[in-house]
A and B are shown apart, each in its own frame.
Chain A
Amino acid sequence: MFANSVRAFSTGRIVLRRAPVAPISSLVPGHPRYAAKLFIEAQNPKHAKSIRRKERKLQRRIIRDVNNLKKYDETNKPFEVDPVLGQGGFMERIKREVANQDTRLAGGFDREEFEALVYGAEKAALDKAKGSSVLHEATKLAEERKKRALMTILHLRNTSVADKKKLAVKLAREEFSRSEGDSGSPEVQAAVMTVKIHFGMDHVRANKKDHEFTQYIRQLVQQRQRILKYLKRVRPEDYYLTIARLGLTDDVITREFPMGRQYFEDYKVWGEKKLIKHSDKVKKKMEQVAALRKKVSDYHEVAKEKFVLYKNSRLEKEKKIELKKLAKEEARLARAKLAESSESGNTNTST
């Protein structure tokens, strides 16, 4: 795009013979479209030299602006994913699993095991109450009540967040362990921290003023960064697999990240509210960058328009050449035909 813009301005000669892109009234000196105006006025050969100088100056400015913006964007790159929560990854599945009321019970109990055990207890009680049908029915009812009571106690709906977090940590540990019983490898530590961070961010979202807890989460994020950096140093292959599974990216781990107000504002943790009041200096700087961005986008637009004109003119030229060629060919054919007919006429007369 940038290359185009320069080329389009330097091939201004085409524009000389064309109508202006925008009405002259809208062209302000300093605006890139001013260049087009310059080209149009260049029909007066008296000013040709000074205009060319201005054109060169304009070119240099365009290059400078585009490069400045490029540099700014390079140094102020946003993170690829949310540096705290990441994107996708295993946490979505773990959260689903923790909320899965069909197969899981509170306190780390398995639903399948629970059903089997309850049935065993019922069977034992029924065997004891053998003989009378009335006793049988009564025992059955009592056992049914017991089961319902147990289900109520152990239902995931009636558990605390801490219990759910415990289960999530257990699942994460089992999933990331290198071998059975591994609870200390960097992968497991990072996964457990990720679980804690995700559960913690729910709390932070609900309790904006719990600064102490926010600080705890901040420390966890930094600790996770540190341990993953270590993993990158010693086992790079495992590191890339781990961050991909956690839904993080390399830049989130290697770049500096303070979990400050800027983060909470950018990722809308507490809604759309503005959390940072910028100083006049910063505001000015931001305005400057915005203006630069606008300018560069204008350059691009002009360049695009110019490029279309340039392409059209090229096409027209080619068409003209083609037409000329065709005309030549036709003329040649006609001549040949004429020569042939005259020759055949000659032969006819001779016979």
Chain B
Amino acid sequence: MAKQNFVGLVVSQGKMSKTVKVRVQRKVYDSRIHKELIKRKDYLVHDEGEICKEGDIVRIESIPKISSRKAFAIAEIKVNKGQQFALYEELAKKRVIEIEQQKGVETEQNKSNLLETISRIEALRKLDDVAIAYQASNVSETEREKLLKEINDIKDKYKIKSWPSTQEILPLDINKEEIQLNEIEHRRKFMTYILDKFYEPEMSQKREEILSQLSTKPLKKNIAKNLLRKYVLKPENEIPFPY
């Protein structure tokens, strides 16, 4: 005769050595109400390797009785949900340490960015002062040279071409959107040129690279072109040639 077999859920583990509690459900027909009811029974089951975790679905098999309440042993683990959860928990702990480190680096970066901006503003203020001093009438020739040198030093350090300048010297968040919008407009204007350029033979490799990023499947000609157009219209994407 085949050994008695049940499939059940591990509901308690780690409280008794080498023993888990397995809940087995079965349907029983109630003749009074003519309906199938669910009946539960908990078994204490032998788990020699102590591999089961709470939440696993296991098959249990009858064995010769080994203690007053234990007459079953784990035969196989059908769904190792509990073990997976334990694994996730472990992985999460490692991941949290990584995230915290990353956040620490980011805050440091923010701080250094701020310091850099402040020092840049200080330099610009100084540049103003020096420029005014340079233009004043009662300055000797040697002093003037000194001031000129100072001006040039600051200009070189922060890569300023002219002063007062039309270029953007301090990047502002409120300007960012406008710049992006301009970029989009510009690209839209030259769209046919950009797409033609992309379909030239020397750009084929670059084009394939971009398309493989956008889609894993092989694409039809028209769909590929449309995707490329969308790619071009995103201002954060760089175009590998001047237009």
State the A residues within 8 Å of B (CB): 74, 93, 97, 102-103, 110-113, 115-117, 119-120, 123, 126-127, 133, 136, 236-237, 239-241, 243-245, 250
Contacts and interface: CB of A to CB of B under 8 A. Distances in A.
Given A115-B118, A244-B92, 13 more contacts: A93-B103, A110-B173, A113-B174, A115-B117, A116-B170, A123-B124, A123-B128, A236-B88, A240-B89, A240-B92, A241-B91, A241-B96, A243-B92
Contacts of B29: none
Say whether chain A's binding surface is mostly helix, strand, loop, or mixed. helix
Interface of B: 15, 84-85, 88-89, 91-93, 95-96, 99-100, 103, 107, 110-111, 113-114, 117-118, 121, 124-125, 128, 132, 136, 164, 170-174
Given A93-B103, A103-B110, A116-B172, A240 B91 contact: yes
Contacts of B118: 115
Say whether chain B's binding surface is mostly helix, strand, loop, or mixed. helix
A245 B100 CA distance: 9
A113 B118 CA distance: 10
Nearest to A244: B92
B121 A119 contact: yes
A116 B121 CA distance: 7
Contact of B164 (A119, A127, A241, A250): A127
Nearest to A94: B103
Contacts of B114: 102-103, 111-112, 115
| Residue of B92, B113, B171 contacting most chain A CB atoms (<10 Å) | B92
A97 B174 CA distance: 23
A110 B117 CA distance: 12
17 contacts: A103-B114, A113-B174, A116-B121, A116-B170, A116-B171, A116-B172, A119-B121, A119-B170, A120-B170, A120-B172, A237-B91, A240-B85, A240-B89, A241-B91, A241-B96, A244-B96, A245-B99
Contacts of A93: 100, 103
Contact of A117 (B89, B95, B99, B172): B172
